Structure 1
């Protein structure tokens, strides 16, 4: 699974294609449709050419908060007319709307809207009022589904409605917010639990580089102060999340149907990934 799915770019550490994953009906997901990545603001000119000209990238789905986008910058893909950008933040915006892409607004205007202390925590805090017995990462991921269901569905709708061309979905590290959205998308495509878990855990191979990238920024440095092991994704985390989704909502498709992502949209997303 790790031999031919990585895109080794100058400006990211965790970019890979969701193609080539086995489905439960004996098929595979298609290459060049959906990519997942850590943040994109450090892409080189060669990276941009590779993504746009070689990979056929036409869309970016950004799952970060408006604060993160303002603090880290818009990135070179914003200058490419052929690439559409969509922003669906999965974390609370502390009063800001989550359906407005920050790069479409004047930066001074955005900063004026941000309350005092807006930058004190920009990565997902692994806490939750329920499921006290679950590991912190499991609680965090369940929190996306229980506290931000509209945003999760909006992200999947963006993937389903987009195209032609490839889309890259990303957050900061490309493992937590991106991991949950990609897990649901792959479930819709018919990828089995263990393959979804394996794809999630693949970030382990590059976690040192991911942490080093984030630690070098003022935005994420404080959050990266803990040992790398704290940030390393574990297969059992995603396996447990999917187990709880099965128990509570009848599986990922059950969760989606109960939150308004019905058969037609599921079919469209499946077609894009297959």
Structure 2
């Protein structure tokens, strides 16, 4: 099945339905979609999201002031749920924007406890784990929205729709019981149009640029299997499972169960 959304403005927009579940069955379509920044959307694209894909909630994992100011979409609630961010800007640029979780490393001091040293060896997987632990409140809130009445159909995005978004989608699919290889394949699908997507993103205003000379750049500009594979492995080693990670972060058990029922449909 072609899971890509029919949105010419976006190159990394797809439905996370029709993915195989452990024990049989597939995830439901039309429940959760993922994409790169909707700043790329024309008014026609926004209209298509609302009326064709019936999106009612948009989970925006970008940092405050990253990207264009949010505008109202009729009948849609847009939630700003910053994942990570930075503690301090350089004195010369207090109004700077960006987020290490998007690989945006120019002009700002990085959070002291974000480990970038192992990015090359393990893709971005170890960084993803740290991002998930630091941004757990945003992920718990995302689950709460999706599990609530009228919480879906929903769209989740960040800037490229692969790092911050990739972590959340991997957690949600793991909770739902999607096969590990399918979670990995969904993540790496971003590679298909990666170069052209970044060319489009880099032309946007208010969009921080990654420093190509920074060690984190190759991993944060790619969607390698090693990144999500390492994240899933370390998640299991440290926390047991995605569900246990979210429970420890403060998620309500009934929200986890509600999400499973929603994305699995009639599958047990």
- For residues 57-96 of structure 1, what are the structure 2 equivalents within 5 Å? 57-69=55-67, 72-74=68-70, 78-92=71-85, 94=87
1:54 corresponds, among 27, 52, 55, to 52
Superimposed CA distance per residue, residues 41-93 of structure 1 (whole angstroms, 9 cap, x where no aligned partner): 23123212221111111111110111204xx232xxx3332111111110136
Contact 1:214/1:221 (<8 A) preserved: no
Offset of residue 243 of structure 1: 0.6
| Comparing 135-144 and 208-217, the one that deviates more | 135-144
SS of equivalent residue, structure 2 residue 24 = coil
Q: Distance in 2 between matches of 1:129 and 1:177?
A: 14
- Report the CA distance shift for 1:29/1:226 in structure 2 as closer, same or farther (over 3 A): farther
- Tell me whether 50-59 or 176-185 shows the greater mean CA deviation: 50-59
CA RMSD of aligned residues (A): 2.7
- Aligned partner of 1:101 in structure 2 is none
Once residues 134 and 153 of structure 2 are traced to their aligned partners in structure 1, the CA distance between those partners, rounded to angstroms, is: 29
Distance 2:248 2:151 in 1: 28
Task: Measure, in 2, the Cα distance between the counterparts of 1:67 and 1:145.
Answer: 21
CA distance in 1, matches of 2:172, 2:52: 24
Equivalences for residues 82-231 of structure 1 within 5 A: 82-92=75-85, 94=87, 116-119=93-96, 121-124=98-101, 125=103, 129=114, 133=118, 135=122, 137-161=124-148, 163=150, 165-220=152-207, 222-223=209-210, 225=212, 230=219, 231=221
Shift of 1:262: 3.7
Q: What secondary structure is seen at the aligned counterpart in 2 of 1:188? A: helix
Q: 1:205 to 1:28 in 2, by over 3 A?
A: same
Other structure's SS at 1:200 match: helix
Residues 1:222 and 1:23: Cα distance change in structure 2 (over 3 Å)? same
1:42 aligns with 2:40: yes
Q: 1:190-220: CA deviations, max 9, x gaps?
A: 1021111110111000101221112112433
- Match of residue 270 from structure 1: 260
Q: State the partner residue of 2:231.
A: 241
| Alignment gaps of 5+ in structure 1 | 96-114
Aligned residue for 1:223, secondary structure, equals coil
1:129 Cα deviation after fit? 4.9
Report how many residues are paired: 249
- Which TM-score applies when normalising by structure 1? 0.81
* Aligned partners of 1:249 and 1:255 also within 8 Å: yes
Shift of 1:252: 1.1
Equivalent residues of 1:211, 1:224 under 8 A apart: no
Q: Which has the higher helix share?
A: 1
Matched with 1:18 is: 16
